[in-house]
Amino acid sequence: MPEPLFRAVNESVISNSSANAAKDSSAFVVGKYEGVIINAFRCEELSQALAQLPDLLQAPDAELIAGGRNQNVRLTLPFQDGRIAVLVKSFGKQKRWKDYVDIHYRKTKAQRSFEAAQHLKTHKIGTPAPVAFLERRRGNLLEESYFISLFEEQVISFHDQIIDTLNRKPSCSELAPMLAQVAELCRGMHDAGYIHHDLGNQNILLPQGQGSDLGSAQIIDLNRGRIFPELSMRQRGQDLSRLNLPSELMQMFLDIYWGKPAPKALRTWHRRYVGLFSIRANTRRLRHPFREARLAREQKLHPEARAFPAPRDIWIWDDRSDQAFSALERKERVRLYPRGRSWRMLKSTVAAVWSLRKYYRSSKARAFSAPVKLKDRLGVALDPDGKSQVTELQLLNKLGTVPILLRFCHHEGRSRWHEQADLVKQLFATGHEVKIALVQDRRALQEPGAWCQFVYEVLELTHEHIAAVEFGHAINRVKWGIWDFEELKSMYAPLIELGKRYPEVNITGPATIDFEYPFMLAAMQQWPQQVPVAAISHHLYVDRRGAPENPQSGFNAVDKFALASAIASYLKVPDGKVVVSEVNWPISGTSIYSPVTSPFEYRLAKPGEVSENGVDELSYSDYMLRYIVLALCSGLVDRVFWWRLVARGYGLVDKNDGGELRERPAFLALQHFLLTLGDSTFVQASLPEQRNQRHGLYEFAFERPDGEHLLLCWAHGAAVATPVLDAARIEDAMGNSLGSIPKKLTGSPLYFRDITGLG
């Protein structure tokens, strides 16, 4: 007599079922298998199919999703009047003692998977919907064991997605939402008391395709997990330690997971278990030699399978703050520095130090000592997109025909290069002097041929309309793609041909950033000797959270200008010319658009929990004017380009989510400065004694072409008494006339107009 499809379940099966299982499931016996099924899936057609599960798994239409000892197979099974796609996880046989322990003490893998899925679904945590688990036992031996869940069609593993993203041209706006999906899944899972114990990238599924209605991230492979009333920081850190992300992205992930700056305890436990897991991973060949040999053979057979890029080759673009994003923590970056990097900087510095001492003294002595004509010495950088270009050019017209700097970024591609080239021609036609900057990415160093092609194509498009080209960008920051001086030498390879093809175009470099002059000296050792340097170009930020007069290692802005000029003289650059090709201050409150904050938002942070980096808009305006005056009037800097006209996190003009533009105080201040002093001549300066913090009164005298004499004054540090001057009127930084003379000067510059007795 055939065995009935359904029969009574013996007491042992009932006792092994979870006492806390959700009410929507019940004990299930079909054919020779026993288990539990979700009641919504209980029907005659599906039960008949599950009774023949081993045969179905071998059928031609069964799709193997993952092989190995435990196999995942996709099946299409009958259900009511239609069919459903399910994933069957078939657990392979294990050692007898493990069977005994599973059956009597900790439940089998299939049952644990089913109950974990129920638990997660109850707490609304993403996981494929459980259908049933089925087992066949012989005494204390587990002969067959299956966990069945619905098959998720439009998904991709986090493992595959992050690898694919990092191997393309990733951006923070693409990565941050992906990390947020995964982080919120992990946080919800842990808050529900579930610890996964195998939380690798491959065990997280992401919805695939476009649109916000595709669903949320899901967790799979639940058989190793455990359910607790509450998870400790140690358990959370341990569970997250198997996620594979570049180190800085991982720290970012922990913050997203926590919803605000992650607590120290979580980071500490996470680091500890990452170290332990690293040891485990690095000894895998010793522990599983045959399996690892098999995987190595499979890798050779399928070389097209993508893997994580090498740490040095990870290059991410932060499209909110328009800069490369550092995917690696500082400690890891330092560890990856090639041997000899520091030695080359030390060697170049030692060779130059005696001469630089002489040139530096000379530069300091001539600062503010001679008249300086300001015409065409102050420029602005642009980077408009197609939608905002017309509006940005209208704003530019308010500043007059100032010099312009445009970036050409290697990673942006040919269509963008041509778009920028058209803008160069348009600006040239309207009377602007244009300088371009060639910006590398990691691929430029990996594929020198592609970099050369980019350089020659851009110059062919623009050489008739530009005055100069800056070669390279922030080369002393590895996040911009350059790790050693040999790579830098390779990047400089097109310079010789460039000089021959376009001798009329001035070439500037090396475009280092910040106060790292030993690197500048070592970099110039790689510059081709037959290519003249028209000017030392430098991205010289002084104090991105404070005043330009503030010292760093004893050097304030003027001291740094003097040292840069000394280096230019040492390198035989004509007239010791220095160009500051990038400078700004980050603006506080601009969140992900700021160049000094993380490219994601803290969803659970309360006001004050996340430290504000940057300065307010009025301070930005004041610091900008003070920097420009100190740089140009010192005579140590030939030209300053402000980065940039429009940018939400740091621009002269703000741009909101809707694309609307708002002129910040700094734009109005720069407009008034150019209108008042753009064609004037700096005459003389009175500065505080150059000691300690350089606090005190700063006075700069100018003469306009119409003969007017005026002073621009401010105080650094504590307010000082306003000097007694015979001025026709006093204007604030934005050109507003003041009704009365203020008793004290502050850090906000004031114009004393049409002064008599000055000249």
* Token output for 446: 């990996």
Alpha helices in 283-408 (DSSP H): 284-287, 289-301, 330-336, 341-366, 389-399
pLDDT given for residue 302 in this prediction: 64
Closest CA to 403 of 468, 340, 346, 481: 468
pLDDT given for residue 741 in this prediction: 87
For 413-426, what is each residue's pLDDT tens digit? 999 999 999 999 99
* Residue 401 half-sphere exposure toward CB, CA atoms < 13 A: 10
Instruction: Classify strands 226-227 and 194-195 as parallel, antiparallel or unpaired.
Output: antiparallel
Residue located via tokens 């196999």? 71
Compute the distance between CA of residue 420 and CA of residue 426 in angstroms, rounded to an integer.
Answer: 10
Is the pLDDT at 369 greater than 70? The verdict is yes
- Name residues whose C-beta falls within 8 Å of residue 483's C-beta, 6 or more positions apart in sequence: 312, 336, 337, 338, 445
For 63-91, what is each residue's pLDDT tens digit? 998 877 888 999 999 998 889 999 999 98
Compute the distance between CA of residue 215 and CA of residue 516 in angstroms, rounded to an integer.
Answer: 48
Sign, Cα dihedral of 480, 540, 555, 652: negative
pLDDT given for residue 18 in this prediction: 37
**In degrees rounded to 5, what are phi and psi of residue 695?**
-75, 150
Residue type (1 letter), 690: Q
Average pLDDT, integer, range 653-678: 95
The 10 Å Cβ neighbour count of residue 145 is 27
pLDDT given for residue 690 in this prediction: 67
Cα distances (Å, whole numbers) of residue 233 to 179, 230, 271: 20, 10, 12
Average pLDDT, integer, range 485-512: 95
pLDDT given for residue 10 in this prediction: 35
Three-state secondary structure call for residue 383: coil
Instruction: Classify strands 404-409 and 434-439 as parallel, antiparallel or unpaired.
Output: parallel
* Token output for 507: 């070439």
Three-state secondary structure call for residue 552: strand
* Residue 742 half-sphere exposure toward CB, CA atoms < 13 A: 21
pLDDT given for residue 100 in this prediction: 78
For 8-60, what is each residue's pLDDT tens digit? 333 333 333 333 444 688 888 998 999 999 999 999 999 999 999 999 999 99
Is 199 in contact with 107 (CB distance < 8 Å)?
A: no
pLDDT given for residue 214 in this prediction: 54
pLDDT given for residue 580 in this prediction: 98
pLDDT given for residue 693 in this prediction: 64
Q: What is the 3-state secondary structure (H, E, C) of 593-648?
A: HCCCCCCCCCCCCCCCCCCCCCECHHHHHHHHHHHHHHHHHCCCCCEEEECCCECC
The 10 Å Cβ neighbour count of residue 759 is 10
For helices 617-633 and 557-570, the axis angle rounded to 10 degrees is 40
Is the pLDDT at 431 greater than 50? The verdict is yes
Reduced to 3 DSSP states, what percent helix, strand and coil does the chain have, rounded to the nearest 5? 40, 20, 40
Is 244 in contact with 281 (CB distance < 8 Å)?
A: no
Is the pLDDT at 152 greater than 60? The verdict is yes
What percent of the chain stands above pLDDT 70? Answer: 94
Instruction: Compute the mean pLDDT over every residue in the chain, rounded to the nearest whole number.
Output: 90
Is the pLDDT at 176 greater than 70? The verdict is yes
**Model confidence, pTM:** 0.89
Is 710 in contact with 751 (CB distance < 8 Å)?
A: yes
With bands split at pLDDT 50, 70 and 90, how would you rate the model's confidence at 1?
very low
For 262-315, what is each residue's pLDDT tens digit? 999 999 999 999 999 888 777 777 777 777 677 677 667 666 567 889 999 999
pLDDT given for residue 106 in this prediction: 79
Is 533 in contact with 509 (CB distance < 8 Å)?
A: yes
Residue type (1 letter), 346: L
For 374-394, what is each residue's pLDDT tens digit? 999 999 999 998 888 999 999
pLDDT given for residue 12 in this prediction: 37
The alpha carbon of 619 is separated from its chain's Cα centroid by a whole number of angstroms, namely: 26
For 557-612, what is each residue's pLDDT tens digit? 999 999 999 999 999 999 999 999 999 999 999 999 999 998 998 998 888 888 87
Closest CA to 66 of 291, 221, 260: 221
Is 632 in contact with 287 (CB distance < 8 Å)?
A: no
Is the pLDDT at 2 greater than 80? The verdict is no
Compute the distance between CA of residue 415 and CA of residue 573 in angstroms, rounded to an integer.
Answer: 35
* Residue 726 half-sphere exposure toward CB, CA atoms < 13 A: 4
